[in-house]
Amino acid sequence: MAVFSCINAMVALVLAFLMVAVAGNFYQDVDVMWGDGRGKILNNGQLLTLSLDKASGSGFQSKNQYLYGKIDMQIKLVPGNSAGTVTAYYLRSEGSFWNEIDFEFLGNLSGDPYVVHTNVYTQGKGGREQQFYLWFDPTADFHTYSFLWNPAHVVFYVDGRPIREFKNLESAGVEYPKNQPMRLYSSLWNADDWATRGGLVKTDWSQAPFTASFRNFRVNGCVWSNGVSSCNSSNSSDKAWLSQELDSTNQKRLKWVQKNYMIYNYCADVKRFPQGLPLECTVRIRTNS
């Protein structure tokens, strides 16, 4: 008996160590950049919280820049009446012809659904919005929001389920993010001029401070430093994601989300583009049909 519980305890210890090692540590991985104390790293680096009050929001960014990666974060969004608030979680490069891959979570009145707003910018040009409702309450628990960015496509995931794919259609003349390293950014801020029901519902400051929580930041990526990609100098890490495609199961899951939870798609907004839809909306990929 004593021997068994001793072994059990040792196994538990080893497992606990492995989990900590895998989960990363916010002290090592990110810098809280603004918010004058409203962004906090807690629990020995295992938890990060951002808060917003009438005076300011807050934000952090990854220490590393990446050129391709699979990036996961667990986020628990602002609970209760979060109308007017936006929690942004995105990848972005520098300069005036930047690339950007966005998740933005638009808050709402208690009981009304959050909107997940997504966009992709290439060379400083965005306008590629798709919006979704979620199939769960994102304020009750942590859920995993991920980016897969590799040479073939950008995929947005929620709890491992693809919700959006932006393919590399360079061969058809559509710009693709591939030459600029990007950093991960996240922030919580007031956007009550547009966020909730198009700006009709304002932030209720009597509910402040508003708080969003983050944990388990995990990157499988090519770290970019001084013009060199870590993917070229080491072969030890798992690089399956670099060539990962959406298999038929995941294409079905993507279609399920788009059919049941997508509430806006720029590619379907013909009124907005009287001269014709953007090129990537109309290109058919032969290999896929």
Shortest spacing between CB 49 and ligand NAG, in angstroms:
22
Which x/- pattern, by CB under 6 A, does the window 212-241 give for ligand NAG? ----------x------x-xx-xxx-----
Which x/- pattern, by CB under 6 A, does the window 115-134 give for ligand NAG? x-------------------
Q: E-strand spans in the chain?
A: 30-34, 39-42, 47-52, 58-76, 85-92, 100-106, 115-121, 130-132, 143-149, 153-158, 161-167, 182-190, 210-225, 228-229, 262-265
Size of the site for ligand NAG (CB under 6 A): 15
Does the annotation count 245 as an active-site position? no
Shortest spacing between CB 230 and ligand NAG, in angstroms:
9
Binding piece for ligand NAG, criterion CB under 6 A, among 177-185, 193-201, 246-254, 278-286: 193-201
Which x/- pattern, by CB under 6 A, does the window 99-118 give for ligand NAG? -------x-x---xx-x---
- Residue 88 has which token pair? 């942004």
Does the annotation count 129 as an active-site position? no
Among residues 27 and 133, whose Cβ is nearest to ligand NAG? 133
Residue 219 vs residues 148, 212, 256, 281: alpha-carbon distances, Å? 10, 20, 27, 30
Among residues 60 and 132, whose Cβ is nearest to ligand NAG? 132
All residues at 6 or more sequence positions from 93 whose CB lies less than 8 Å from its CB, including other chains? 99, 100, 177, 180, 181, 182, 183
Shortest spacing between CB 282 and ligand NAG, in angstroms:
28
Please state, in angstroms and rounded to a whole number, the distance separating the CA atoms of residues 135 and 140: 12
Contact between residue 213 and residue 48 where contact means Cβ atoms under 8 Å apart: yes
Binding status of residue 197 toward ligand NAG by CB under 6 A: yes
Binding piece for ligand NAG, criterion CB under 6 A, among 43-51, 165-173, 192-200, 271-279: 192-200
Residue with structure tokens 């009050």? 53
Shortest spacing between CB 193 and ligand NAG, in angstroms:
13
- Candidates 87, 150, 190, 196: give the one binding ligand NAG (CB under 6 A): 196
Contact between residue 221 and residue 72 where contact means Cβ atoms under 8 Å apart: no
Please state, in angstroms and rounded to a whole number, the distance separating the CA atoms of residues 151 and 168: 7
Angle (nearest 5°) at CA 185 between 181 and 190: 145
Question: Smallest Cα–Cα separation from 183: which of 28, 69, 26, 36?
Answer: 69
Marked catalytic residue, from 100, 129, 165, 245: 100
Q: Which residues are catalytic?
A: 100, 104
Q: By CB under 6 A, name the binding residues for ligand NAG.
A: 106, 108, 112-113, 115, 195-197, 222, 229, 231-232, 234-236
